[in-house]
């Protein structure tokens, strides 16, 4: 058994969760945000058998695409402690960051 933690852009999360559920996986979605850009993300948790890891990664790859966006930096007075950049800049967002961890024990408690 493995625990898959996938951190994805919020705009990709609904479609990804839908596709994972359609393929028979159970998934928990936790709202999160990135530190640098302060953009909304979703952290997805899945407990899967090791043999299903390639299927899960395939679904993530086809659902979560990278794209470019123009970022308008926060003014330092509004967000203390952040790096201040004086002008807009282009960044690549999207895709996914995936962690796959071994699970020593898993229990599903129903009713």
Domains of the chain: 2-102 (3.30.70.120)
What distances in angstroms separate CA 68 from CA 43, 65, 89, 91, 95, one per listed residue?
A: 21, 10, 10, 6, 11
Q: Pick the residue with more confidence: 37 or 91?
A: 91
Q: At what angle do helices 10-22 and 53-63 cross, to 10 degrees?
A: 140
Higher-confidence residue: 24 or 69?
24
Half-sphere exposure for 56 (CA within 13 Å, toward CB): 25
pLDDT class of 74 with cuts at 50, 70, 90: low
- pLDDT at position 5 over 90: yes
Average pLDDT over residues 53-59: 97
Q: How confident is the model at residue 64 (pLDDT cuts 50, 70, 90)?
A: very high
| pTM of the full structure | 0.76
């Amino acid at each position: 058994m493995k625990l898959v933690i996938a951190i994805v852009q919020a705009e990709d999360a609904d479609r990804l969760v839908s596709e994972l559920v359609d393929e028979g996986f159970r998934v928990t979605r936790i709202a999160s945000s990135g530190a640098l850009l302060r953009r909304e993300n979703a952290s997805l948790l899945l407990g899967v058998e090791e043999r299903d890891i390639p299927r899960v990664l395939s679904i993530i790859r086809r659902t979560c695409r990278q794209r470019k966006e123009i970022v308008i930096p926060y003014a330092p007075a509004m967000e203390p402690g952040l790096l201040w950049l004086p002008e807009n800049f282009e960044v690549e967002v999207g895709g996914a960051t995936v962690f796959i961890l071994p699970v020593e024990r898993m229990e599903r408690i129903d009713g």
